[in-house]
Amino acid sequence: MNSPVILVTGAARRVGAEIARTLHAAGANLVLHYRASAPEAEALAAELNARREKSALARRRDLRDMDGLAGLVEEAIAHFGRLDALVNNASSFFPTPVGGIDAAAWDDLIGSNLKGPLFLAQAAAPHLARTRGCIVNITDIHAERPLKGYPLYCAAKAGLLGLTRALALELGPLVRVNAVAPGAIEWPENDADFPPAAQAAIIEHTLLKRVGAPGDIARTVKFLIFDAPYITGQVINVDGGRTAHL
């Protein structure tokens, strides 16, 4: 009953799943949000519940559907009785060259990267205030230094970065709000987006000369939730030093 409860969006796969496993290992109970990855989300919930009984719950929502977001928070409260943290990790990512941007791309990229996090945070805020909880947003180093060919994605993440600081102002002193900005952590599943030559160029421009791992993001999220009571309104770049001279 006293375990912290954390809602992680986009928790079924990749970095989101690693964040969920890391927070669970730290003692948290989890609400695992997913949109389309039902088998992976249910399998992860089963894995975590096998480690600690009744500690994980998988729930589906489309973050672009504003009307369902408050219900996701209420389901977390109904099931676990409290909410201590929200991790806005879910994100769409695809190129949108200028001249080919349409309303569908706008709705998808803005919806998942900015609109969803905003309205989830708004729904969660009263519950987080009661537990003196926090919000961690997963932004991107390209929120501040745009990536060519991805203007709409970069704008959405820039909005999320601004929202992070604005919410820290709005929700303090009871709720802390921070962000983690990944660099090259996992390449997109569509190899056409970043062919080997592009990957090599990015690695060469990274001070540590290697790609990061999902655990690098997960450990930073864990730090901000559990070990940073005097940090709010901040963005931590986890990028191997790439933005030091990007």
Upper half-sphere CA count for residue 221 (Cβ side, 13 Å): 32
The 10s digit of each residue's pLDDT in 50-72 is 999 999 999 999 998 888 899 99
> Which residue segment(s) compose the domain that 43 sits in?
5-244
Is 230 annotated in the active site?
no
pTM (predicted TM-score): 0.95
Encode pLDDT of 61-104 as tens digits.
999 888 889 999 999 999 999 999 999 999 999 999 999 999 99
Residue indicated by tokens 């991790």:
87
Domain of residue 136, CATH code: 3.40.50.720
Domain count, the chain: 1
pLDDT digits (tens, 9 = 90+) for 126-152: 999 999 999 999 999 999 999 999 999
Catalytic residue among 34, 150, 153, 230: 153
What is the average pLDDT across 201-217?
A: 94
Q: What is the mean pLDDT of residues 202-215?
A: 94
Per-residue burial over 203-217, b if 16 or more Cβ lie within 10 Å, else e, is eebbeeeebbebebb
